[in-house]
Structure 1
Amino acid sequence: MAPRLERFVSPGKGNGLRATASIKRGELVYSAEPLACCVSNKHAKEVCHHCFTRHETLLRCSQCKMARYCNITCQKQAWCDHKRECKCLRSLLPRIPTDSVRLAARIILALLNPSQSSSGEELYPLEEHESHLSSMSEQKKQGLSELASMLELYLQQEVPHLTSALPPSCQEPLSLIAKVTCNCFTISDGELQEIGVGLYPSLSLLNHDCRPNCVMVFEGTRLQLRAVQDINAEEELTISYIETLSLSEDRQKQLEEQYHFTCHCQRCDSQDKDELLLSGAESRWRLLKEALPGVEKLKVESNCEELLENCSHLISTAEDVPDENLYKLRLTDMALDASIQLGLWEKALRYGELTLPVYRRYYPDPHPVHGVQLMRVGKLQHYLEHLQDALDTFRQAYQIIKITHGDDHPLTTDLLMKMEECRAEMDQQSSISH
């Protein structure tokens, strides 16, 4: 484990991680490969199950028909992990277990293969992870019990006797599934879209804050923890477990339901930004709030035309509601996504540009979400040949991305290349006009 951080008991929170020396904003604090990970079911056909790269076409495992790979090299490298999983998948066909069951099974198979166990686990071995079963509702426990039964059924071929094969704390399928669901991380791609789930044992020690001093980004399956504020020696390192652009009450509810704790961070206790998130006359924005579930359903169904039509209509009827209003911002973001999907570039740019001043207010610290939003708008400006605007937007994105992702991340490289293209095209235009 890197000497930059150490485990400690965080007052009121239990275990935590703190800095052993001062850390500058933008520094890489820690980097780790997962104990186990898997591509999520809903992206199984478009993401390589070994390197987690997106591709239009992938090679499919001829036996389980589920795992997919970029090429023969990825397939061969994945085989030692996939071999036993492949038999398990085949035993359940045509059913496919949920992401949490597949991840729990991969953790068990990794624990049974000591040669693969990661050296980065010494701070927080799986045995110590919290299951939170005692604080769960009966309904949630029932749901987890069903997943635990599915896990046993799934592993029957390969690990018929869980109890004798594993460390005592991992022998109980219900407890293991609960630990996985409370402690796993969503793995995302460069555009922050979810592609999989993984367990990074030592980083499960990180506590939550709604204005954290660190962020996590991924390069493939490797997790990178970077500081987004200057951190003093002995100061606790924090991340946000959830998307923080929501009301204090909604954040609290989500953290309580998903992670079983009440957040007492400065943002929650002061209800910071709640007034701004609900700016405008309530009679006007309540209509937007009530329309959101139906609009989000269209997004899930990928019904882009109807989605854009609904969003455009709602936004135009709420002109007097400020752009900072949470519900208007969500609709504007969905209108941007739908316009991009439909190839309506000018409309997409109009919606994208509306969101930028709002993101700037809501993300005072460098944040990957803000950086990626700037990049998306910059790409639209570039495509529509608004070259000076694009270059300015890319520069703003770079100021954030170099801190949240570091200089070596593929996203940073991509951004620098875009800036270079803008400059070259502007030079070309000025030489033609002269």
Structure 2
Amino acid sequence: MMAPMLERFVSPGKGNGLRAAGRIRKGELVISAEPLACCVSNRLAKEVCHHCFTRHESLLRCSQCKMARYCNTTCQKQAWSGHKRECKCLQSLLPRLPTDSVRLAAKLIFALLSPSKSSSEELYTLEEHESHLTSMPEQKKQGLSQLASMLELYLQQEAPDLLQEMGSALPPSCREPLSLIAKVTCNCFTISDGELQEIGVGLYPSLSLLNHDCRPNCVMVFEGTKLELRAVRDIDPEDELTISYIETLSLTEDRQRQLEEQYHFTCHCQRCDSRDKDGLMLSGEEGKWRLLKEALPRLEGLKAESNWETLLESCSHLLSSVGGEVPEENLYKLRITDMALDASVHLGRWEEAMSYGVTTLPAYRQYYPDPHPVHGIQLMRVGKLQHYLENIEDALDTFRQAYEIVKFTHGEDHPLTTELTMKMKECHSEMDHHSSSRH
């Protein structure tokens, strides 16, 4: 699985890293990897197959643990060797459910105890993964200690002797439940679906070597649980490969705080040091955009409760109250417009959804100068709305812009790219049909 395109090295000031072994072209697949361990998020446990990570309306439920769900018996059979031990653990805790990180840590232990996976070829062993326990604030450490106790409780039913077995089979730094949980929370990747919604978490040991940059030269996209790393700029030999650990569409101080809290480092990338785009994000009449900023927590709450009616009402009221005094590029206006788009889609108010979507596009173009999945997906959403509302020429134009991004971020063979190509074909044939019926 390891391509000769990359190699480990020590990155000045950052510890371990990965760099290009040769020239890498924009859009090229740098590496693809299956997880050493992964699990579907509790939040989505009922909607996503626990084997192939596909969303489905109705799934088969494991009759024993009542938690795991599968597309069909094929997925269920294929998952059994990995689910067998977990199933007993889950049964022992019913009706309580362990958190995602506890489930992932347990699956990691099971994977390490049956090393069928050729883990020898990983560039970065679990032993070397950072736990950051020494530099962690006490409060966070206590939170992790509670998770570690939960992990021990969760494991003890399935194998009272498991902790002894771990002692001999696992590297020393992974025997301690606390350090294992710390490594898992700091090194796991969020697995997302085609619309970039989070569906699970996974551990991809070699890819934990990638360091962060707020304007990275690579992006990660998933197909099921397979992670693909693609270059979004041309990369020279010996250049470091970087990804962004967080959603980068936020102010420098917020990005830095999040990276500090979650990953325990201070970011000194070029975007952070130059505070690039902060001015644009805070453009417009401050008295007005403060109102938007202060409303966000309440709106997030409405969104979390799926209270779409109230959310849409609040968003549209706020947006019309600030009017043109806050430009579309303002970060808070953009976030609220995005929420209004979400709410309109959920309520099936397509005209409104389309107009909110179109409004966000110039800002997305500014904030994502390199091809970025988030920008590509936003264009696709808007294109689908335009297509549905029979604005065929606009839709085709939007789909083309999406394609110019997605061919680099997802590659030509990804299901999402295929879907986009189909959409463009549909637009073409509808336009041909219209013009022939006019004559």
Q: 290, 296, 303: which is aligned to 1:292?
A: 296
Q: 366, 375, 379: which is aligned to 1:370?
A: 375
Question: How many angstroms apart in 2 are the aligned matches of 1:239 and 1:120?
Answer: 22
The superposition leaves residues 151-188 of structure 1 with CA deviations (integer Å, 9 ceiling, x where unpaired) of 01111123432434422121000000000000000000
Which residue does 2:205 correspond to in 1? 201
Amino acid at match of 1:38: C
Question: How many angstroms apart in 2 are the aligned matches of 1:61 and 1:116?
Answer: 25
Q: 258, 263, 275: which is aligned to 1:259?
A: 263
Question: How many angstroms apart in 2 are the aligned matches of 1:322 and 1:195?
Answer: 33
Which residue does 1:170 correspond to in 2? 174
The superposition leaves residues 6-32 of structure 1 with CA deviations (integer Å, 9 ceiling, x where unpaired) of 000000000000000010000000000
Which residue does 1:5 correspond to in 2? 6
Which residue does 1:156 correspond to in 2? 156
Report the alpha carbon displacement of residue 116 of structure 1 after superposing the two structures with TM.
2.9
Q: 353, 358, 362: which is aligned to 1:353?
A: 358
Q: 322, 330, 334: which is aligned to 1:318?
A: 322
Quick check: 1:344 aligned with 2:349? Answer: yes
Question: How many angstroms apart in 2 are the aligned matches of 1:252 and 1:144?
Answer: 22
Question: How many angstroms apart in 1 are the aligned matches of 2:115 and 2:49?
Answer: 25
Which residue does 2:217 correspond to in 1? 213
Question: How many angstroms apart in 1 are the aligned matches of 2:56 and 2:205?
Answer: 29
Which is worse superposed, 227-236 or 111-120?
111-120
Question: How many angstroms apart in 2 are the aligned matches of 1:414 and 1:379?
Answer: 11
Which is worse superposed, 151-160 or 62-71?
151-160
Report the alpha carbon displacement of residue 2 of structure 1 after superposing the two structures with TM.
1.1
Superposition map of 1:82-231 within 5 A? 82-118=83-119, 120-121=121-122, 123-160=123-160, 161=163, 162-231=166-235
Question: How many angstroms apart in 2 are the aligned matches of 1:418 and 1:145?
Answer: 50
Question: How many angstroms apart in 2 are the aligned matches of 1:278 and 1:93?
Answer: 48
Q: 401, 410, 418: which is aligned to 2:406?
A: 401
Which residue does 2:249 correspond to in 1? 245
Question: How many angstroms apart in 2 are the aligned matches of 1:341 and 1:134?
Answer: 45
The superposition leaves residues 251-305 of structure 1 with CA deviations (integer Å, 9 ceiling, x where unpaired) of 0000000000000000000000000000011111001100100000000111000
Contact (CA 8 Å) 1:278, 1:325: kept in 2 or not? yes
Question: How many angstroms apart in 1 are the aligned matches of 2:118 and 2:158?
Answer: 19
When normalised by structure 2's length, the TM-score is: 0.98
Report the alpha carbon displacement of residue 98 of structure 1 after superposing the two structures with TM.
0.3
Question: How many angstroms apart in 2 are the aligned matches of 1:77 and 1:46?
Answer: 19
SS of aligned partner of 1:86:
helix
C-alpha spacing 1:398/1:119, structure 2 compared with 1 (3 Å): farther
Contact (CA 8 Å) 1:189, 1:195: kept in 2 or not? yes
Contact (CA 8 Å) 1:35, 1:117: kept in 2 or not? no
Which is worse superposed, 290-299 or 111-120?
111-120
Provide runs of 4+ in structure 1 moved above 6 Å: none
Which residue does 1:22 correspond to in 2? 23
Question: How many angstroms apart in 2 are the aligned matches of 1:184 and 1:159?
Answer: 25
Question: How many angstroms apart in 2 are the aligned matches of 1:267 and 1:166?
Answer: 40
Identity fraction in percent: 80
Which residue does 1:76 correspond to in 2? 77
SS of aligned partner of 1:289:
helix
SS of aligned partner of 2:247:
coil
Give unpaired runs (5+ residues) of structure 2: none
The superposition leaves residues 197-218 of structure 1 with CA deviations (integer Å, 9 ceiling, x where unpaired) of 0000000000000000000000
The superposition leaves residues 342-367 of structure 1 with CA deviations (integer Å, 9 ceiling, x where unpaired) of 00000000100000011001100000
CA RMSD of aligned residues (A): 0.8
SS of aligned partner of 1:318:
helix
Amino acid at match of 1:65: K
Give unpaired runs (5+ residues) of structure 1: none
SS of aligned partner of 2:157:
coil
Which residue does 2:238 correspond to in 1? 234
Report the alpha carbon displacement of residue 117 of structure 1 after superposing the two structures with TM.
4.4
Amino acid at match of 2:140: K
SS of aligned partner of 1:53:
coil
Amino acid at match of 2:433: Q
SS of aligned partner of 1:267:
helix
The superposition leaves residues 81-116 of structure 1 with CA deviations (integer Å, 9 ceiling, x where unpaired) of 001100000000000000000000000000000113
SS of aligned partner of 1:157:
helix
Question: How many angstroms apart in 2 are the aligned matches of 1:251 and 1:358?
Answer: 18
Which residue does 2:58 correspond to in 1? 57
Which is worse superposed, 152-161 or 201-210?
152-161
Quick check: 1:45 aligned with 2:46? Answer: yes
Superposition map of 1:330-341 within 5 A? 330-341=335-346
Question: How many angstroms apart in 2 are the aligned matches of 1:224 and 1:49?
Answer: 20
Amino acid at match of 1:60: R
Report the alpha carbon displacement of residue 120 of structure 1 after superposing the two structures with TM.
4.3
Aligned length: 433
Amino acid at match of 1:284: K
When normalised by structure 1's length, the TM-score is: 0.99
SS of aligned partner of 1:115:
coil
Q: 397, 419, 426: which is aligned to 1:421?
A: 426
SS of aligned partner of 2:202:
strand
Amino acid at match of 1:136: M
Contact (CA 8 Å) 1:111, 1:117: kept in 2 or not? no
Question: How many angstroms apart in 2 are the aligned matches of 1:381 and 1:48?
Answer: 31
SS of aligned partner of 1:16:
strand
Superposition map of 1:383-394 within 5 A? 383-394=388-399
Question: How many angstroms apart in 2 are the aligned matches of 1:394 and 1:120?
Answer: 40
